[in-house]
Structure 1
Amino acid sequence: MAQPLQPENSQASGQDDAALPVPLLYRDAMMLVIDKPAGLPSHRGPQAKRRIIPVLTDYLDQLRFGLPRKPEAAHRLDKDTSGCLVLGRHPRAMAELNQMFRDGRIDKTYWAIVQGEPDADEGLIDLPLARRSPERGWWMKVDPAGLPSQTRYRVLGRGQGEGGPLAWLAMEPLTGRTHQLRVHCQASGWPMLGDEIYGNAPREGGPGLQLHARAITVPLYRKREPIHVEAPPPPHMLAALKTCGWSG
């Protein structure tokens, strides 16, 4: 579970956490961890520029908590992925967090619901990835000439959905390629439920991408235990999680 807020609390900053634009999971002098809602882009990319839709950067000024600068995202989550997102609160914090992400010292665990039946209850997906084509932007594909990409997975539960068997996975990306988890699942024969790009989900009226950044562990302070934060599963994943044995 998320660790409690540190001594610099919302009352001291004059701000009510219940009124924040996004749920706050953790706060201290260096960083915030928010629970990013599914459907909220982390930044204003090409698609967001063509439409007037809210993005995370629109809300960062409301997350200053008394500091002169607004926080910045230290990494990214896809628009349709929910869950733990780390924000650095000032330049020194951003420099440290960015280096930790580059060095692979921050552990991330995702929950995913996939369509199909993984043969093994746990394993390592080791498939290099590359861009599908210049015209497809960030869409990715498995490519022997691509960048090394590894994902560790564990089956937490199985069930039977309307369209066939489902599995609930805990996934740990050992590398950080774009759409890595989604492509690795599709290439393994069990695409993510609700994936419009790499799976079979319809463009409209689907269940929503069943991918959630469940937990993150950040060894930010040398003389303290690593900070471990968990985000509750989003509403659009609850039905499938219960089908696979999650009890809440």
Structure 2
Amino acid sequence: MLSDRVLFIDGEAIILDKPAGLPVTPPVNGGMSIENYREMLSFGFHRWPNAVHRLDRDTSGCLLLSRNPKAMKRFQRAFEERRVAKRYVAVLDGIPSGDGGTIDLPLGKVSTREEGWRMVGDPAGKAAVTHWMLLRVLDNRALVAFTPETGRTHQIRVHAAEGLGVPVVGDPVYGSGTLGKNGIMLLHSEWIRVSRDGKPPVEARAPLPATFINAGFADDDVPPP
């Protein structure tokens, strides 16, 4: 149950450890999403919580929900003013060159009738900057931490595939899309912190999911933010 996956809760916010495979908003073709669980996540409040930002369907980990309209406006403003710190952890289908650095690769959206839409590196696109650090190498795969400065659609996935030349394991768009028999993408929103005026920040870390553990990586491989 999603109510068992709450990492942080107070009168303004909930941070949820979203499972991979569950979209934040209802899919076009129907199916379950976070929207279907909002009443369960109200925890006695009359208002149901709303997602402040988005995670891709196949990305697991920290998702911030607001518990009232005023908090929503403040959190949205924090995102706009870049007062939100986030860290993602991914298993890459190969080993990047170096131990870390910064990927400065603007992103643009392209679309074709055959393949649908995707994001690509585009000098004329929107600015996108991600810092990265190599955490561990195992069996020609790498566990990498990504700290984005910007929040573009598919930013981590494209920056891994194009910026580092090594896609996220299981990425169905920018990589091979397969991981053994399950094909689950190994991208995880591991940590988030949102500043609040006059109050302690909203902050939580999400433990690595079973898919990472099964791939040979562990929480001990990820240092504190």
User: Could you tell me whether the CA contact under 8 Å between 1:22 and 1:36 is conserved in 2?
Assistant: no
User: Could you tell me whether the CA contact under 8 Å between 2:103 and 2:129 is conserved in 1?
Assistant: yes
User: Could you tell me whether the CA contact under 8 Å between 2:61 and 2:189 is conserved in 1?
Assistant: yes
Q: Alignment partner for residue 8 of structure 2, among 26, 45, 55?
A: 26
Question: Distance between the aligned counterparts of 1:197 and 1:75, measured in 2?
Answer: 21
Q: 1:138 to 1:35 in 2, by over 3 A?
A: farther
Q: Alignment partner for residue 35 of structure 1, among 6, 17, 25?
A: 17
Matched pairs, number: 221
| SS in structure 2 of the partner of residue 85 of structure 1 | strand
Show CA shifts across 1:201-225 (max 9, x none): 249934410000000112124243x
Structure with greater strand percent: 2
Question: Distance between the aligned counterparts of 1:244 and 1:216, measured in 2?
Answer: 16
Q: Does 1:80 align with 2:62?
A: no
**Please, which moves more after superposition, 139-148 or 233-242?**
233-242
Question: Distance between the aligned counterparts of 1:44 and 1:23, measured in 2?
Answer: 20
| SS in structure 1 of the partner of residue 25 of structure 2 | coil
| SS in structure 2 of the partner of residue 153 of structure 1 | strand
- For residue 37 of structure 1, what is the amino acid of its counterpart? P
Structure (1 or 2) with the larger CA radius of gyration: 1
User: Could you tell me whether the CA contact under 8 Å between 1:159 and 1:244 is conserved in 2?
Assistant: no
User: Could you tell me whether the CA contact under 8 Å between 1:157 and 1:245 is conserved in 2?
Assistant: no
TM-score if structure 2 supplies the norm length? Answer: 0.90
Which residue of 2 is the match for residue 10 of structure 1?
A: none
Which residue of 2 is the match for residue 219 of structure 1?
A: 195
| 1:45 CA displacement | 3.2
Question: Distance between the aligned counterparts of 2:4 and 2:119, measured in 1?
Answer: 29
Show CA shifts across 1:129-163 (max 9, x none): 11122645551111111111111000111111xxx
Instruction: Please give the root-mean-square deviation of Cα atoms over the aligned residues, in Å.
Output: 2.3
- For residue 239 of structure 1, what is the amino acid of its counterpart? N
Q: Does 1:114 align with 2:92?
A: yes
TM-score if structure 1 supplies the norm length? Answer: 0.82
User: Could you tell me whether the CA contact under 8 Å between 1:150 and 1:175 is conserved in 2?
Assistant: yes
Which residue of 2 is the match for residue 156 of structure 1?
A: 135
Question: Distance between the aligned counterparts of 1:125 and 1:236, measured in 2?
Answer: 26
